[in-house]
Amino acid sequence: MPKNDENVGTAVGFATRGIGRPGAAAIGGTESDREGPRGTEMDDLAEAYRAGVQPHLEELRSTMPLVRDGDTAAIERVNGISHQLKGSGTSFGYPEITSLATAVLHASPTDFTEATEALVAGLDGVLGAEASTERITIVDDDPLIRMILAKTLTSPGREFRSAASLAEARLEIDATTVLVLLDLFLPDGDGQELLAELQTDPETAGIPVIVLSGSDSEEVRRDAMNAGAAAFLEKPFESKTLTDLVDGLLPPGGAVAAAAVGGVAGDPSSNESPAALTVVLAEDDDLVAALISDRLSRDGYEIRHHADGESALADALQAPPDLVILDVMMPKMNGFEVLGRLRDANQTADIPVIMLTGRGREEDVVHAFDLGATDYIVKPFSPAELAVRVRRHTTAS
């Protein structure tokens, strides 16, 4: 996911931490001031931005020979153009341009030419990018939350549609939608109704839905997952949690995003898991194990499955994997004991361990983290969310 510039990123991060808090909608301006642009307006803005970029690109190209020769006036002109692009890129849905322009402004004399060439390549990508191909619909009755979510997920090639009710959502979501962010508590009904409708309609059944809810009820979460939600996030949540999850559900970077950045930022390869990474999976439910194995194998992981804790521990100690996924209730040795033994052994002390279990009591979660768990996921779970967390822990380790 491309990064926003510092100011926008700070504002989004601050506001996102307030999602779901009482009074959050009162932050800043009137409702019309805060409402984010709809998809058609975003398309118009992006098109206007690309038209405005063209003269800058042509001037940068004509100036490059002088920049390479160290011409002071040319360097000053490039800095002037970069300053303009820095302030406008993110606003029009191209945060990579903001990042590249910022890099030019901060470049040392020895790196200035290379940074300018990277900016030219990025602008080439913007002008060569096709129209938006990823339509995301945000269903929430709070206009501030809709705006924050759109800004958090903004990336070239993404188009956002807003809906404040079930009725509006039914008009906005169709077969061209690639993702839905759905609040459950809406003024004209329960979001579960929409989730069920999407799953039963052949045209929309394959659209991933991320449920965003202020409820901490395990029953609400279980009902949403059983109804077909791809993931469930409890408000408030961190921006990175959402962006990582969306990146895992959508094609890496998006076709347009990849073209726009020219491999500088948001390179699709950055979201792909190395084929050599191995995961030891301890799960005694064969159906759950098959589901996990299928999802992670498609991401390039090698899965070593065991139906009991004892054999999983022996395998991990003999040939330490890149990550371990542990159920708690298993034959021969439970997951907590396996976790403790893994942390006691030098060869596995630092390996990421994800607990994946139906035990969602607070004392179980605390006990797992006290033993050294890296992450804790309660069943029922989203395979897509698990894949995102696996990727995050293996690429960070």
Which pLDDT tens digit goes with each residue over 283-331? 888 768 887 887 888 778 889 999 899 999 999 999 999 999 999 888 8
How far from chain centre, in Å, is Cα 59?
A: 35
Q: Is the pLDDT of residue 31 over 70?
A: no
Mean pLDDT of 138-154: 88
Q: How much is the average pLDDT of 68-75?
A: 90
Pair 331, 308: CB distance under 8 Å: yes
Average pLDDT, the chain: 76
Question: For residue 91, what pLDDT band results from cuts at 50, 70 and 90?
Answer: low
Greater confidence, 248 or 64?
64
More confident residue, 292 or 17: 292
Q: Which amino acid is at 76?
A: E
Asked if 46 and 92 touch (Cβ cutoff 8 Å), the reply is yes
Q: Is 138 helix (H, G, I), strand (E, B) or coil?
A: strand
For the chain, where are the alpha helices, taking DSSP H only?
6-16, 31-34, 39-68, 72-88, 95-106, 112-128, 143-153, 166-172, 191-200, 218-226, 239-249, 255-261, 286-298, 309-318, 335-344, 362-371, 383-396
The yes-or-no verdict on residue 264 having pLDDT over 80 is no
Distance CA 47, CA 29 (A): 27
CATH of 16-34+134-253, one of 3.40.50.970, 3.40.50.2300, 3.30.70.100, 3.40.50.1820: 3.40.50.2300
Q: Cα–Cα distance between 242 and 145 in angstroms, integer?
A: 13
- pLDDT tens digits, 95-131: 788 888 899 999 999 999 999 998 888 887 776 654 4
What residue segments make up the domains of the chain, in order of their start?
16-34+134-253, 43-128, 273-396
Backbone angles phi, psi at 152, to 5 degrees: -65, -35
By C-alpha distance, which of 385, 260, 257 is closest to 325? Answer: 385
**14-18, 70-74, 135-139, 210-214: the lowest-pLDDT one:** 14-18
Which CATH superfamily groups domain 273-396?
Response regulator (3.40.50.2300)
- Residue identified by tokens 């938006």 is 132
pTM score > 0.75 for this model?
no
**Is omega for the bond preceding 251 within 30 degrees of 0, making it cis?**
no
- The average pLDDT across 216-233 equals 80
Residue 354: pLDDT band with limits 50, 70, 90: very high
Question: What is the reported pLDDT for 183?
Answer: 92
Let me know if the fold of 16-34+134-253 is the same as that of 273-396: yes
Rounded to an integer, what distance in angstroms lies between the CA atom of residue 394 and that of residue 54?
41
pLDDT, residue 273, reads 40
Report the C-alpha gap between 129 and 81 in whole angstroms: 21
Identify the residue whose tokens are 């001037």.
59
